[in-house]
Amino acid sequence: MPTVHPFVGVQFSTPGDLSALVAPPYDVLDAEGKRRLLAKDPRNIVAIDLPHTPAKELGPPEAYAAAGDRYRTLLRDGTLRHAASPTIYAYRQSFTSQAGAQVRRSGMCACVDTLPFGPRPGGGILPHEETFSGPKEDRMALMKATRAQLSPIFGLHADERGLATALLTKVMASRPADTRATTDDATLHEVWNITDAPTVRAYQDALAGEDIFIADGHHRYNTGLNYLRTLESQGSLPADHPARRCMMVLIGMSDPGLVIWPTHRVLGGMAGYSWDAFQNAASPHIRTKPVTGGVAALGKALESDASMGPRRFGLLDAASGAALLAAPLADDPLAARFPAKPRAWRDLSVAFCQHVLVEQICQPALNSGNPVKWAFPHTIKEVQDIASGAETGAGGGKQFAQLAVLVNPTPLDAVKDVSRAGELMPQKSTFFYPKLATGLFINPLE
Query: Is the full-model pTM beyond 0.75?
Result: yes
Cα gap 278→288, rounded to integer Å: 13
Run of H or E including 82: strand 80-82
| Coil, strand or helix at 145 | helix
* Residues 131 and 219 reside in one and the same domain: yes
**Domain assignment of residue 415, yes or no:** no
Cα gap 283→328, rounded to integer Å: 10
* Residues 239 and 285 reside in one and the same domain: no
* Residues 74 and 153 reside in one and the same domain: yes
* Residues 351 and 250 reside in one and the same domain: no
**Domain, as residue range, for 77:** 4-260+432-444
- Kindly report the number of other CB atoms within 10 A of residue 97's CB atom: 11
* Residues 256 and 273 reside in one and the same domain: no
Cα gap 437→395, rounded to integer Å: 21
- Kindly report the number of other CB atoms within 10 A of residue 377's CB atom: 26
* Residues 256 and 283 reside in one and the same domain: no
Structural domain count of the chain:
2
**Domain assignment of residue 423, yes or no:** no
**Domain assignment of residue 421, yes or no:** no
Radius of gyration from C-alpha coordinates of the chain = 22
* Residues 217 and 323 reside in one and the same domain: no
* Farthest CA pair distance, the chain: 66
Residues 6+ apart with CB under 8 A from 208: 1, 122, 123
**Domain assignment of residue 413, yes or no:** no
pLDDT 10s per residue in the chain (446 long)? 568 999 999 999 987 899 999 999 888 888 889 999 999 999 999 999 999 988 778 899 999 999 999 999 999 999 999 999 999 999 999 999 877 889 999 999 999 999 998 888 888 898 876 666 667 899 999 999 999 999 999 999 988 888 999 999 999 999 999 999 999 999 999 999 999 999 999 999 999 888 898 888 888 999 999 999 999 999 889 999 999 999 999 999 888 888 888 999 999 999 999 999 999 999 999 999 999 999 999 999 999 999 999 999 999 999 999 999 999 999 999 999 999 998 989 999 999 999 999 999 999 999 999 999 999 999 999 999 999 988 776 677 778 999 999 999 988 888 778 877 777 788 888 888 899 999 999 999 98
**Domain assignment of residue 416, yes or no:** no
**Domain assignment of residue 82, yes or no:** yes
